[in-house]
Structure 1
Amino acid sequence: MELVVALAIGVLTGSGVWLVLRSRTFQVIVGLSLLSYAVNLFIFSTGGLRSGAAPILERGAAGDLATHADPVPQALVLTAIVIGFATTALFLVVLLAARGLTGTDHVDGREGGR
């Protein structure tokens, strides 16, 4: 399980970095989104990867982190997802405005990368 999550984080990070280094603004935005997904997955995995464990404590039972996942990283990831969605929406609005003003979607505002 840990190997699959580590590979997913690595693939998302590598793809995100590759897209951030592209010259088109839409590809940069998608790359930033992939990087935020990788960071969210990393934070989520720090809370502990448990399979087959009960998600809720039984009535009268004491909580133990050895048998349950830590809820704090889950709350942080949920907050980061909402903030990331809002930031991506803002980036897309800025992208459309910049494309309307410059007529191109290159990061530097010029066709051909000169």
Structure 2
Amino acid sequence: METLMSILVGLLFSIGTYLILSKTLLRIVLGASIISHGVNLLILTMGGLKKGGLPLLGGNNLSYTDALPQALILTAIVINFAVTALFLVLCYRTYQVVGTDDSEQLRGNEDE
């Protein structure tokens, strides 16, 4: 199962990198968001996909699952949502003011 998750993480990283290297601002924002989802999946995979009991004191469980990766991922999801919303608002405002979302035109390189 970890092999399948690692392949999926690699696929998300490659898609995100492809989108970040494009010229339009919206694709760059979506690429950063996809890479963030890949990192979340990577953290979950590195934490281990194992079954166990609840990590409670006084229980009879000898094996338990670690809750730290899930807490880190939950925090990262909330931060990713806020950052993506901020970037989308900035892209929309840039499009309103400048009239384009092409990064080459934003730089002023009209001849390329």
Q: TM-score, normalised by structure 2?
A: 0.86
Amino acid across the alignment from 1:61:
G
Report the residue type matching 2:42 in the other structure: F
- Cα-Cα RMSD: 2.3
Q: What percentage of aligned pairs have identical amino acids? A: 36
Distance between the aligned counterparts of 1:82 and 1:55, measured in 2?
27
| Aligned counterpart for 1:106 among listed residues 86, 102, 108 | 102
- Matched residue, 1:42: 42
CA distance in 2 between counterparts of 1:113 and 1:105 reads 17
Shift of 1:68: 2.7
The 5 Å alignment of 1:71-86 reads: 71-86=67-82
Where do 1:13-28 residues align within 5 Å? 13-28=13-28
Structure-2 change in CA distance of 1:82 and 1:102 (3 Å): same
CA distance in 1, matches of 2:40, 2:100: 32
Aligned residues of 2:24 and 2:103 also touching (Cα < 8 A) = yes
Normalised TM-score (structure 1): 0.85
Classify 1:57/1:69 alpha carbon distance in 2 versus 1 (closer, same or farther; 3 Å).
Answer: closer
Instruction: Structure 1: state its 5+ residue gaps.
Output: none
Aligned residues: 110
Which runs of no fewer than 5 residues in structure 2 stay unpaired? none
Mapped to 1, the partners of 2:25 and 2:53 lie a distance apart of 41
In structure 2, what residue type is equivalent to 1:42? L
Extract structure 1 runs of 4+ deviating beyond 3 A. 57-60, 110-113
Q: Deviations 1:40-86 (Å, cap 9, x if unpaired)?
A: 11111121112xx345257842555xx33211111011000000000
1:12-34 deviations in Å (ceiling 9; x for gaps): 00000000000000100110001
Report the Cα distance in structure 1 between the residues aligned to 2:111 and 2:20, rounded to whole angstroms. 15
Provide closer, same or farther for how the CA distance between residues 113 and 78 of structure 1 changes in structure 2, counting only shifts above 3 A. farther
